[in-house]
Amino acid sequence: MARNGARVSAVIKRMAKRLTYKSAGVDIDLKERLIPLIGRLARRTAGPGVLAGVGGFGALFDLGAAAQLRAPVLVAGTDGVGTKLKIAFATGRHDTIGIDCVAMCVNDIICHNARPLFFLDYIGSGKLDSRVALAIVEGIARGCKMAGMALVGGETAQLPGMYAAGEYDLAGFAVGLADRAKIPNPAAISAGDALIGIASSGLHSNGYSLARKVLLEVGKLKLSKRIAGLGCTLGEELLRPTKIYAQAAIELFERFPIRGLANITGGGVIENLPRVMPPKLRAAIRRGSWPRQPIFDLIARIGRIEQAEMDRTFNNGIGMIAIAPADHADAVVRHLRRRKYSAFLIGEVQRGPRGVAFA
């Protein structure tokens, strides 16, 4: 028995000598080679407040360099891209999904009249693919430039066994700065205020579990198929990046008495607009007061989805809703259109239990 035990111990020792972190699925050298490449992408987004970014244990940001406010308030938000990633996996295209990640985070914080400052990302994968990782971060950097914020860091985690081959998860974290006195207060909203809708670019990054089931499973459509009503392939439509509204929001809050701003994300108008409204006031929205992109009609038709379900799943063509006094509504719409945003007067605030009523 002692002899057998010695043999086993010798075998274990020989095997242990051959094992490395890389053989277990984590390539540290590859990650180290990526850091300077990612750092160069991040530096393109850096503003005066960035003291130290990619490469350290933490990013350093000088708030004093960002803005001089009487009562500064940090506004933070986090989100992911969700099952829209499945479309990226299926098409092999990863260059725009980073824009979605930035948009999903920054479109939330700007609703508090926050000026975006910096962004961090998290990419988790079973096996790190440098080409894919760089494509994702390039998209994130582009999104940060669109939002006027700095990419200051992130994490690229290799987690063997956690993800299917070729798949990854992507999440982001955005921080902005607001003046406490200028943060929208729901109590300022009154009956008669106007609801101004700003068009979405399409599905954005919400409702993809239902969209994929309807289009790919029920409709059996191919992502490579060109759809006449869409003017592009299905894959191109489903990968269309989420619109980033940061610049529009900054200008609206600076120029007009905006009383509320709602990001129409998961849950649609029904769930998101009431989040910025006070009790005893509701949003009355006129259907047909804005054009709806063809992708929504395609999903509704193939899936035979009722309007109520569409309303609480998708943005249905409106990505952001601003609430302003009625006598400023036309000026707000004109301003947005001059800035190349499609904007529409879609309804008004009325007395009644908090919620949304469609007419």
- The CATH number of whichever domain residue 141 belongs to comes to 3.30.1330.10
Q: What band does 359 get if pLDDT is binned at 50, 70 and 90?
A: confident
Domain-embedded: residue 106: yes
Asked if the model's pLDDT at residue 2 lies above 60, the reply is no
User: Do residue 65 and residue 170 come from a single domain?
Assistant: yes
Out of 159, 182, 205, a domain closes at 182
Out of 133, 158, 182, a domain closes at 182
Domain-embedded: residue 85: yes
Domain-embedded: residue 4: no
- Pair of tokens at residue 109: 């914080």
Domain-embedded: residue 209: yes
Out of 182, 204, 220, a domain closes at 182
Number of structural domains in the chain:
2
Domain-embedded: residue 67: yes
Q: What band does 254 get if pLDDT is binned at 50, 70 and 90?
A: very high
Look at residues 227, 230, 222, 231 and name the one whose alpha carbon lies nearest to residue 90.
222
Q: Whole-angstrom Cα distance, residue 319 to residue 268? A: 9
Q: Is 269 exposed, middle or buried (0-12, 13-18, 19+ CB in 10 A)?
A: buried
DSSP 80-139: E-GGGHHHHHHHT--SSHHHHHHHHHHHHHGGGTPEEEEEEEEEEESS--HHHHHHHHHH
User: Do residue 129 and residue 219 come from a single domain?
Assistant: no
Q: What angle do CA 18, 20, 22 make, to 5 degrees?
A: 130
β-pairing verdict for 232-233 and 226-227: antiparallel
User: Do residue 37 and residue 174 come from a single domain?
Assistant: yes
User: Do residue 40 and residue 106 come from a single domain?
Assistant: yes
Domain-embedded: residue 14: no
Higher pLDDT, 282 or 72: 282
Q: What band does 4 get if pLDDT is binned at 50, 70 and 90?
A: low
User: Do residue 35 and residue 171 come from a single domain?
Assistant: yes
Average pLDDT over every residue of 176-184? 93
Q: What angle do CA 292, 293, 294 make, to 5 degrees?
A: 115
Average pLDDT over every residue of 224-236? 93
User: Do residue 140 and residue 161 come from a single domain?
Assistant: yes
Number of CB atoms found within 10 A of residue 236's CB: 18
What are 32-70's pLDDT values in tens digits? 666 666 666 666 666 777 656 566 666 676 777 666 777
Question: Cβ distance 314 to 208 under 8 Å?
Answer: no
**CA 261 vs CA 42, 78, 236: distances in Å:** 29, 18, 29
Question: Cβ distance 125 to 27 under 8 Å?
Answer: no
Q: Whole-angstrom Cα distance, residue 330 to residue 344? A: 9
Question: What percent of the chain has pLDDT above 70?
Answer: 83
User: Do residue 208 and residue 59 come from a single domain?
Assistant: no
User: Do residue 93 and residue 213 come from a single domain?
Assistant: no
User: Do residue 97 and residue 244 come from a single domain?
Assistant: no
Question: Cβ distance 172 to 102 under 8 Å?
Answer: yes
The DSSP symbol for 243 reads P
Domain-embedded: residue 15: no
Q: What band does 133 get if pLDDT is binned at 50, 70 and 90?
A: confident
Question: Cβ distance 120 to 156 under 8 Å?
Answer: no
Q: Tell me which residue range forms the domain holding 258.
A: 186-358
Residue 20: its pLDDT value, please?
59
User: Do residue 327 and residue 341 come from a single domain?
Assistant: yes
Domain-embedded: residue 154: yes
Higher pLDDT, 21 or 73: 73
Which long-range contacts (C-beta less than 8 Å, at least 24 apart) are formed by 34-42?
Answer: 34/128, 34/130, 34/133, 34/134, 34/156, 37/134, 38/133, 38/134, 38/137, 38/154, 38/156, 41/134, 41/137, 41/138, 41/140, 41/141, 41/151, 42/137, 42/141, 42/150, 42/151, 42/152, 42/153
CATH number at 239 reads: 3.90.650.10
End-to-end Cα separation, the chain, in angstroms? 85
- Pair of tokens at residue 138: 């390039």
Average pLDDT over every residue of 94-123? 95
pTM: 0.87
- Pair of tokens at residue 217: 């499973």
Residue 64: its pLDDT value, please?
72
For 254, left (φ over 0), alpha (ψ -120 to 50), or beta? Answer: alpha
User: Do residue 144 and residue 197 come from a single domain?
Assistant: no
User: Do residue 209 and residue 347 come from a single domain?
Assistant: yes
